[in-house]
Amino acid sequence: MARPDKVDAVEEMRDKFRDSNGAVVTAYTGLTVAQLQQLRRSLGENAHYRVAKNTLTKIAANEAGITAIDDLFTGSSAVAFVTGDPVEAAKGLRDFAKDNPNLVIKGGVLDGKALSADEIKKLADLESREVLLSKLAGAMKGKQSQAASVFQALPSKLVRTVDALRAKQDEQGGAE
C-alpha cells in the first residue's frame, strides 16, 4: 500500500508535468542548499525547480503521458518545470551550470518532444521570445514601407510619363 505522502508527491509532480510547457532534468550532486536556493531564485517566474526521488518522478511523468525521458531518471535528479518562456529557463539553467559545474543538464522535454542536453543548450542560445517577435515585427514593417514606396512611385512615374507625352505632342503640334 502506497504511503499518502508519496501519493501526494506523485500527484503534485504529475500536475506540474501537465501544466508546464516543458521540463528539464538535471543532476545536482554536490550543490549546497544555498546554491539550490540561488538556482531557484535565478529561474524566477519561468520555472519551478523540484528535487524528488527518481521513482516518484518517473511515475508522475508516465501518468502525465511523458515517457520519452524515463532514461534520464538515474542518479541524483531534479526537474525544472518550465511554465514561462522556455528560452529564459534554459538560459537560467545554463548560466547557473557555468558558475556551478555540479549542476549537470541531463535532458528534458518541451511540448511533448524529448530534448537532449545539447538541444537544451542550443535553446538557451536563442534570443528571448520578445526579442524574436520584435525583430519579426521590424522586418515586416520594413517590407511594408518598401511596398508602400513602390506603390507610391508607380502613380508619380505614370504622371511624369503622361506629362512627357503631352509635352512631346505640344512640340509636334506647334511645329506643324
- CATH value at residue 107: 3.30.70.1730
Q: Supply the pLDDT for residue 79.
A: 92
Angle at 175 between CA 169 and CA 176, to 5 degrees: 95
| Chain segment 132-155, per-residue pLDDT in tens | 678 777 777 767 767 667 667 667
What's the rounded mean pLDDT across residues 34-59? 89
Same domain as 82, residue 33: yes
pLDDT at 174 over 70: no
Same domain, residue pair 80 and 27: yes
The reported pLDDT for the residue numbered 76 is: 87
Residue type, 28: Y
**Is the pTM higher than 0.85?**
no
Same-domain pairing of 26 and 109? yes
Measured in whole angstroms, the distance separating CA 126 from the mean position of its chain's CA atoms is: 8
- Domain around 56: 3-126
Residues 106, 95 share a domain: yes
Residues 96 and 162 in one domain: no
Same domain, 58 and 118: yes
Say whether both 12 and 70 belong to one domain: yes
Same domain membership, residue 61 and residue 16: yes
pLDDT, tens only, 6-29: 888 889 999 998 888 889 999 988
Let me know: does 2 contact 92? Beta carbons within 8 Å: no
